[in-house]
Amino acid sequence: MINRITGATTFARTMARQPAAWFTTSRISAKGVLTTAQHTLTIVGVTALVVMAVLFVRPDLVKALSDGLNRVPGAEVVAVTAPPLDALMEAPAAVTVSTAPLSAEEKALLGTEKQQKWVTTWLSKRYRVAGDAANMLVSTAYLTAREIKLDPLLILAVMSIESGLNPFAESPMGAQGLMQVMSKVHHEKFQDMGGTQAALNPVANIRVGSLILKDYVTRGGSVEAGLKSYVGAAAFESDDGYGTRVLAEYNRLKQVSAGKKVPTITPVMTAAAPAKAVPVAATEKSVSGTQIAGL
């Protein structure tokens, strides 16, 4: 009986202590949660400040983030593939080479294989053009010269001064390609070669530019007069030295073709526009009557 009373008393005391123990444990747990929350908020706040500082210093990141968030769904980016070089160099259908025996004049215009090789090597080094590409340009110039009866070295000299043998050159005025042809003015000459988009085709550009040059030389009665018209300075007293630069390059090419050693590091100057402004009346006349090929 005494043991039962003692056990009941102990049990009662234990039950009496339970609320106090539970309350103490709850206080400790709540304090830990608050401490953890405080540390978390501190980390989040510091991170936000760092991000804001980075975005302030790098506005480009802000733009990129904005573009990424405002991206239009379903928009597809069309990949643009550059055509291979051999496709660009492929002769248009309008250009045909006669298989008839060469006349003495044609043989003189074409020169020998060795002469063409000398010219190709020199131009390749002078204008830092790949050997294969330079060979294609020189061969096209010689074949075109044979067809239209114009000195191929003059064609190559104009190409050199106009574009530095860059088939994709374009001036602020819209002159394009190796010979800087104004395709919008001479669009009819590109009709048999695929339209004005063929202006950046090296073969088509050389052919059209050479035809324009030949026409100007014939009209002017001399190479100097033809070059003055080609650069668009026929209405002015001076061509701003364009003809002198072309003829200087032409003479260098003649020496190279003759087997002479000519430096490739001589100053290279590109064509410049006439210093004076073209009168409105003269401009209208040039577009409707006189053809403009270069700047």
Domain ranges within the chain, ordered by starting residue = 33-65, 104-258
The phi and psi torsions of 95 (rounded to 5 degrees) equal -90, 115
> Whole-prediction pTM value?
0.59
Evaluate whether 91 touches 97 at the Cβ level (below 8 Å). Answer: no
Give the per-residue pLDDT at 110. 74
pLDDT of residue 71: 61
Residue 123, pLDDT score: 97
Pinpoint the alpha helices (H) of the chain. 2-57, 59-69, 85-89, 104-110, 113-126, 131-148, 152-163, 202-220, 223-230, 242-257, 280-288
Angle between helices 152-163 and 242-257 (to 10 degrees): 130
Q: What is the pLDDT of residue 270?
A: 47
What pLDDT does 288 receive?
35
- How much is the pLDDT for 39? 75
DSSP for 25-41, please give it.
HHHHHHHHHHHHHHHHH
Q: pLDDT 10s digit of each residue in the chain, 295 long? A: 555 556 556 655 655 555 555 555 555 666 776 777 777 878 877 787 777 777 676 777 667 767 766 665 544 444 444 445 455 555 444 445 455 666 777 677 777 899 999 999 999 999 999 999 999 999 999 999 999 999 999 999 999 999 999 999 999 988 999 999 998 888 888 877 777 888 889 999 999 999 999 999 999 999 999 999 999 999 999 999 999 999 999 999 999 999 999 999 876 544 444 444 333 333 333 333 333 344 3
The yes/no answer on whether domain 104-258 falls in CATH 1.10.530.10 is yes
